[in-house]
C-alpha cells in the first residue's frame, strides 16, 4: 500500500539528491557528462565573494521575513478567530495571494514599487528606487514575500487556535483574566506546536527563495548582487552558465544550511513549545 509513495520518493527525491551530491564533486563536460574533480567546486565556491554575498542575502531575507511574517500571521489568525461578521470572507481574502500565480503577484508589486509612476511613490511624494537601490531592494522583496505568505500561515495558526478548548478561556474569565492575559497564558502556549511548524516552514521557504527575486529583480538590474539568493545563484550557474557541478555544490551548501537551522530549531523548541493538552 505504501509502495507508490516509496517509489515516488526514491525516484523524485532521494535519487536526484544522490546525483546532486555526485555532481557537486564533478565538472560539467559536453553532452551532459561529468568528470570527477574532487573538492574543486567547493574550494572555488568558498573562495567566491559572490557566493558569500548570496549566502548573506539568503540569511538576511530570513531575518526580514520570518519574524515579521509569523507575527502578522498570528495576529491575523487571532482576529479571524474572533466573532466578527463576514470572517469567512476575510479568511478567503487573506488566503487569496497563495492561489495567485507568482508571476502575476510580481508584476503587480513591480508596478506598485515603480520609481516613476508607482502608487507608493505617488503617495509618499518621493521617487524612491525600491527595486534598483542596493540598500533596500531585498527589503522590498521581503515585503512582497510577507504579504504573500501571511494568509497561508494564518490559516494554519487559526486551525491550531480553534483546537484550544473553550473551557480554558471560561475558567480564565472566571478568575478575572483579561483578553491580553488569556492570549499570553492560554492561546500562545497552546498554539505553540502549530507556531513551531509554521516557523520551520517559513524559514525553509525563505532560505530557498528564488522565484520572487527572479521576477522582481531583472538580470540587468544594478542591484542584483544585493538581492541575489543562493537559489538564484544556483539558477545562474546551472542554467545560464551551464556549470552544473558548481551549481550542485551550491545546492548541497543550501541543504546543509537549512539542516543546521532546522536542528537549532528542534534543539530550542523544548524551551517554548508546549505539547501538553
Is residue 25 within 8 A of residue 37, CB to CB? The reply is yes
Q: What angle do CA 99, 104, 110 make, to 5 degrees?
A: 130
21-27 LR contacts (CB < 8 Å, sep 24+): 21/248, 21/252, 23/244, 23/245, 23/248, 24/245, 24/248, 24/249, 24/251, 24/252, 25/245, 26/245, 26/248, 27/245
What is the pLDDT, as a whole number, of residue 88?
77
Query: CA-to-CA distance for 86 and 93, rounded, in angstroms?
Result: 11
DSSP string over 107-130: HHHHHHT-TTT-HHHHHHTS---T
Architecture of domain 60-271 in this structure: Orthogonal Bundle (1.10)
Mutual angle of helices 137-162 and 188-207, in 10-degree steps: 140
- Nearest Cα residue to 262 out of 192, 206, 198, 203: 203
Q: What is the pLDDT of residue 33?
A: 77
Handedness of CA 70, 191, 273, 263 (dihedral sign): negative
Per-residue pLDDT of the chain (277 residues; tens, 9 = 90+): 899 999 999 999 999 999 999 999 998 877 777 888 989 999 999 999 999 999 999 999 999 999 999 999 999 999 888 877 777 788 788 888 888 888 888 889 999 999 888 899 999 988 899 999 999 999 999 999 999 999 999 999 999 999 888 898 889 998 888 888 999 999 999 999 999 999 999 999 999 999 999 999 988 899 999 999 999 999 999 998 889 999 999 999 999 999 999 999 999 888 888 876 5
CA angle 102, 131, 242 (to 5 degrees): 65
pLDDT score of 276: 67
- Decide: pTM greater than 0.95: no
Q: What are the boundaries of each domain within the chain?
A: 60-271
Supply the pLDDT for residue 277.
56
Predicted local confidence at residue 103, as pLDDT: 84
Would you state the cell numbers that stand for residue 268, as one nine-digit string? 530550542
Rounded distance, CA 29 to CA 196, Å?
Answer: 44
All 3 cell numbers of residue 141?
522583496
Going by C-alpha positions, the residue among 152, 245, 159 that lies closest to residue 202 is 152
Amino acid at each position: 500500500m505504501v509502495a507508490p509513495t516509496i517509489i515516488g520518493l526514491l525516484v523524485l527525491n532521494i535519487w536526484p539528491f544522490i546525483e546532486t551530491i555526485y555532481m557537486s564533486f564533478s565538472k560539467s563536460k559536453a553532452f551532459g557528462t561529468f568528470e570527477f574533480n574532487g573538492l574543486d567546486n567547493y574550494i572555488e565556491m568558498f573562495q567566491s565573494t559572490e557566493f558569500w554575498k548570496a549566502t548573506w542575502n539568503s540569511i538576511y531575507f530570513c531575518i526580514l521575513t520570518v519574524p515579521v511574517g509569523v507575527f502578522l500571521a498570528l495576529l491575523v489568525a487571532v482576529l479571524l478567530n474572533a466573532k466578527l461578521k463576514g470572517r469567512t470572507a476575510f479568511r478567503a481574502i487573506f488566503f487569496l495571494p497563495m492561489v495567485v500565480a507568482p508571476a502575476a503577484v510580481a508584476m503587480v508589486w513591480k508596478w506598485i514599487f515603480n520609481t516613476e509612476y508607482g502608487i507608493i511613490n505617488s503617495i509618499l511624494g518621493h521617487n524612491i528606487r525600491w527595486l534598483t537601490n542596493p540598500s533596500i531592494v531585498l527589503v522590498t522583496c521581503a515585503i512582497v514575500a510577507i504579504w504573500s505568505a501571511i494568509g497561508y500561515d494564518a490559516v494554519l495558526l487559526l486551525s491550531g487556535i480553534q483546537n484550544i478548548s473553550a473551557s480554558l478561556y471560561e475558567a480564565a474569565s472566571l478568575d478575572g483574566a483579561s483578553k491580553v492575559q488569556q492570549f499570553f497564558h492560554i492561546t500562545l502556549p497552546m498554539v505553540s506546536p502549530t507556531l513551531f511548524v509554521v516557523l520551520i516552514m517559513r524559514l525553509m521557504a525563505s532560505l530557498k527563495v528564488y522565484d520572487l527575486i527572479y521576477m522582481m529583480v531583472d538580470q540587468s538590474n544594478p542591484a542584483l548582487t544585493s538581492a541575489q539568493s543562493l537559489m538564484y545563484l544556483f539558477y545562474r550557474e546551472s542554467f545560464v552558465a551551464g556549470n552544473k557541478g558548481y551549481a550542485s555544490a551550491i545546492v548541497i551548501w543550501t541543504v546543509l544550511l537549512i539542516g543546521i537551522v532546522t536542528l537549532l530549531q528542534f534543539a530550542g523548541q523544548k524551551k517554548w513549545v508546549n505539547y501538553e493538552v
